[in-house]
Amino acid sequence: MDRLISILVILLRKERVQAKELAQRFDVSVRTILRDVDAINLSGIPVVTYQGVNGGIGIAEGYRLDRSVLTDHEMAAIFTALKGVSKTMPESQYEILLEKLKNTLSASQLDLLKSRTNHLIIDLSPWGGNELLKQRLITLRRAIENNRELEFDYQNLTGKKTSRRVEPYSLVLKGQAWYLYAWCLLREDFRLFKLSRMRDVTVLETCYQPKELSLDQLSWEKSWQESEPMVELELLFEKEMETIVEECFGENPLKNREGKIIVKTRLPENNWLYGFILSFGTGVEVVSPPGIRAIVANIAQGIAKKYSSET
C-alpha cells in the first residue's frame, strides 16, 4: 500500500515517468511496477502507458483529483494547521501529507496557496527547541495509538510525588504547555497530566480496551476549575507595566488617578500563583485578598534575606 501511494504521488507530480525508474526507486521488478499500475487503475485513477521516445507511465490527460469540496481559504487553513503541528511533532507523516495535498494542485494554485499560508504562521515549538519533549510526544502518541498502558512518576504543583499507571487517551496542547489526558488507575478517573512534571515514563506491554468518551468528558476548563481552588484577586500595577499587563490580562486595562493599572481577576490559588505574581517584580502590588498579600510578602522577604546574606 505504501508503494502504491508513493507511486501515485510521483505520478501526480510528474507528467510521465519510466517504469524502469520506478522499479529502481522501490527496488522491485518492472513487472511489479506494472502490476501496481493495474491496481491503481482498478481504484479508479486512470494511469496509462505512453509509447515512443517521450513515453512512460502517466495519469490520463484531463484527469485530476477532485478538490472542489475545499475552497482556497479552507485549503490554506489546512496547510497552516499542519505546518504548525509538524513543528512540534517530529514525525514525517505530516510533511508527507502536506506533499500529497500539494500534488493535487496546479502551479497557479500552489502560488496562491503559498501566498495565503504566509499570512498566518503557527509555530508551536518552544524557543530554543526541546528534543526531550519531542521524543516524549512521540512515545506517548505511539502508546495512545497502540492502546498501551503507561507508568511514570508525577509531581504536582505542591511538590507531592506519586507513581501513576494510566491508560493514555489524548495529547493536549493547552496554554503553550503539553498535557496527557488519561484514565488514572490510582484515582480511578480521568486526569490531565502536565508532560513537564512526568518522570521515568515507561510504555508497558499491557494493552487496554479504550473507554467510550463523550465530548462533555473532554472539558479541560471544567476539570481544571474543579481541581484547583480559585481566588478573586485585585492587583495594582505600575504604569510602566502596561504592555506586560495587556499581554497577560487583555487590552484597555482600568487605571486610577495616578495612572497605575488596576486588574481584577480570578486565578487558581497555589504555588504557581505566588510565582506568577512575583514574576512582575516590584511592578505589582497585591491589594486583596490580605492572605495572598501576606504570603507574597513573606516569600519576597525570604528572597531578600537570601540575597542580602554574606556568602
Domains and their CATH numbers in the chain: 2-59 (1.10.10.10), 72-117 (no CATH), 131-226 (2.30.30.520), 230-308 (no CATH)
Pairwise CA distance, residues 80 & 119, whole Å: 9
More confidently predicted of 46 and 228:
46
Closest CA to 89 of 195, 207, 168: 195
- Whether the per-residue pLDDT at 39 is higher than 80: the answer is yes
- Whether the per-residue pLDDT at 96 is higher than 50: the answer is yes
Given a contact cutoff of 8 angstroms between Cβ atoms, the answer to whether 233 and 289 are in contact is yes
pLDDT-based confidence at residue 281 (cuts at 50, 70, 90): very high
* Listed range (83-92, 197-206, 287-296) with the worst mean pLDDT: 83-92
pLDDT-based confidence at residue 67 (cuts at 50, 70, 90): very low
Identify the pLDDT of residue 225: 54
- Listed in sequence order, the DSSP H helices in 89-235 are 92-102, 107-117, 131-145, 220-227
Crossing angle of helices 30-42/2-13, nearest 10°? 80
Q: Grid coordinates representing 127?
A: 524557543
To the nearest whole percent, how much of the chain has pLDDT over 90? 27
> If you average pLDDT over every residue of the chain, what do you get?
81
- Whether the per-residue pLDDT at 109 is higher than 80: the answer is no
* Listed range (2-6, 90-94, 227-231, 258-262) with the worst mean pLDDT: 90-94
Q: Grid coordinates representing 235?
A: 492587583
- Whether the per-residue pLDDT at 54 is higher than 80: the answer is no
Mean pLDDT of 146-166: 89
Residue 43: exposure state from Cβ atoms within 10 A (0-12, 13-18, ≥19): exposed
Top mean pLDDT of 65-69, 88-92, 126-130, 294-298 is at 294-298
Q: Which amino acid is at 301?
A: Q
More confidently predicted of 175 and 145:
145
Distances (CA, A) of 119 to 67, 85, 115, 125, 232: 22, 17, 7, 19, 39
To the nearest whole percent, how much of the chain has pLDDT over 70? 79
Model's pTM, two decimal places? 0.55
Mean pLDDT of 221-239: 77
Identify the pLDDT of residue 256: 84
Tens-digit pLDDT profile for residues 232-259: 999 999 999 988 888 888 777 788 888 8
Given a contact cutoff of 8 angstroms between Cβ atoms, the answer to whether 178 and 197 are in contact is no
- The angle formed by the CA atoms of residues 199, 143 and 134, to the nearest 5 degrees, is 55
More confidently predicted of 265 and 157:
265
- Whether the per-residue pLDDT at 282 is higher than 90: the answer is yes
